[in-house]
Amino acid sequence: MNLIKVKVVVILSSLSFLCQSQTNLHFAKINDFYSLINAEIFEQKLFTFNAGKFKFTSLIVETENKSDAEIKIFYKSKIGIETYVTSKIDYNENVDISTYCSKLNVFEEEQSIVKIDFGNFKGKVKIILLYAPKTEIELKNKFYKFSNPCNKPPMISYTEWRKGLPNPKPPRVKTKIEHLVIHHSAGSNNDTDYLNTIRNIYLLHTQSNGWDDIGYNFLIAPDGTIFNGRDPLGAGDDDDILGAHFCSKNQNTMGICLMGNFMTKKPDYRAIYSLKYLLAWKLKKDKLDAFGQTKHPQPDGNMLDNICGHRNGCSTSCPGDSLYLILNNIKFESARIADSCGLKLDFIEPKIVSFVSVFPNPATDKIYFVLKTEKVVILKVLKSNGSLVLHEKIYTEKPLEINLEKGIYFYQLISENKIIEKSKFMIF
């Protein structure tokens, strides 16, 4: 590590300015793709540093302490003017729960000035700068209508998109896939250079996180382009390789990341289309039941949906509320596509652990019920004192949204005048 103590560029501002004696700033160029700034933010809001010869194409801020601060990251836009993006300091889902970070900000233009307004944040920060040199590959026409669902969908191979970046490290471990885990990258929805984005995610995972390769098995861009993720390095098929994406419980999982942030915005229909075909192909290949559950071996052996979100494994907002909300629909359609290939998926009742998905549970306000059976079902919701608050028919195609006061509720599913399932949920 080439650690150099450097002078801070002092920016005079009406608010305050950065004082080197207070800051204890270190800049370290680790290699051609990765540099680090360690600094401590005191009273000053605005931090500016000239990285000089080190150009960067993405930046992420890691902090030791939790903060509700929203920081502003300034950058030079395509047309050469200074603009900024805002980012919250949130749990670092990539590394461990004891650190916090901004989102990974990927820039389409090379940058050399680090300028961040830290708002009300105070404390130690690690500013990670990554540089993915531009590479030319033609992404156009890589997205096809997948006419044959029996085949693996076409995708951009790792050797293509990784060109000019350091190679991933061996070894690789094969795992028997039982769970298909859906993620979002939590990055910007305004990125249009998807090749640049995936190259920067790769650098974050391999250089900063120190992983052997990109964490996911597959990534899907908003225009539906699928990228191969982990390079199997000869250890087997890319979909059967153990990744790094699921709360340190990666065994028996395959990770698919949709590029973008889907907390409030739904993914592009083209990305959903590719996701469904990718899932369908894997369901069919490994004879997985789209609506089934399998015991996950680590760490406590809970049952886990065969198709699930990152949030089903640990506390994270991934893959975003909007994407999570349509997951049942995606499962249903993926199963239908897989079915159309000629494989009869087994939907016999004993395999269905529960007839309904209730999420989020506990909830803060809205709670959703999604029916997983073709039976005609009435949903009854009762308060803990036994009084009836809801009596309604529910349908497989449409999640039922319920708004209730805080409390613990009991529900019953009734079909042909018999209770087929009962359980409880909480609104807090």
Query: Of 316 and 373, which has the nearer Cβ to Zn ion?
Result: 316
Question: Are 313 and 249 within 8 A, CB to CB?
Answer: yes
Q: Give the Cα separation of 356 and 367 in Å (integer).
A: 12
In the chain, the N- to C-terminal Cα span, in Å, equals 49
**Listed ranges 118-126, 309-317, 353-361, 390-398: which one lies at the site for Zn ion (CB under 5 A):** 309-317
Beta strands in 192-301 (DSSP E): 218-220, 226-228, 253-258, 293-295
Q: CB 181 → Zn ion: shortest distance, Å?
A: 8
Q: Does 310 bind Zn ion (CB under 5 A)?
A: yes
301's CB contacts (< 8 A; 6+ apart) are 295
Rg (Cα) of the chain, in Å, rounded? 24
Q: Does 254 bind Zn ion (CB under 5 A)?
A: no
Q: CB 19 → Zn ion: shortest distance, Å?
A: 39
Q: CB 94 → Zn ion: shortest distance, Å?
A: 9
Given 318, 335, 337, 379, the residue binding Zn ion (CB under 5 A)? 318
Question: Are 361 and 353 within 8 A, CB to CB?
Answer: no
Q: CB 311 → Zn ion: shortest distance, Å?
A: 8
Q: Does 276 bind Zn ion (CB under 5 A)?
A: no
Query: Of 272 and 318, which has the nearer Cβ to Zn ion?
Result: 318
Q: CB 321 → Zn ion: shortest distance, Å?
A: 13
**Listed ranges 117-125, 285-293, 316-324, 343-351: which one lies at the site for Zn ion (CB under 5 A):** 316-324
Q: CB 368 → Zn ion: shortest distance, Å?
A: 20
Q: Which two tokens stand for residue 320?
A: 């975003």
Phi then psi dihedrals of residue 126, to 5 deg: -120, 115
Question: Are 371 and 358 within 8 A, CB to CB?
Answer: no
Query: Of 8 and 318, which has the nearer Cβ to Zn ion?
Result: 318
User: 3-class SS at 195?
Assistant: helix
Q: Does 45 bind Zn ion (CB under 5 A)?
A: no
Q: CB 259 → Zn ion: shortest distance, Å?
A: 12
**Listed ranges 162-170, 307-315, 334-342, 345-353: which one lies at the site for Zn ion (CB under 5 A):** 307-315
Tell me which residue of 271, 126, 114 sits closest to 191, measured CA to CA.
271
Please tell me the count of residues contacting Zn ion according to CB under 5 A.
3
Fill in the per-residue mask, 164 to 203: x = in contact with Zn ion (CB under 5 A), - = not in contact. Answer: -------------------x--------------------
Residue with token string 């370290």:
28
Tell me which residue of 110, 131, 128, 132 sits closest to 60, measured CA to CA.
128
Query: Of 282 and 310, which has the nearer Cβ to Zn ion?
Result: 310
Question: Are 410 and 404 within 8 A, CB to CB?
Answer: no
Residues that bind Zn ion (CB under 5 A): 183, 310, 318
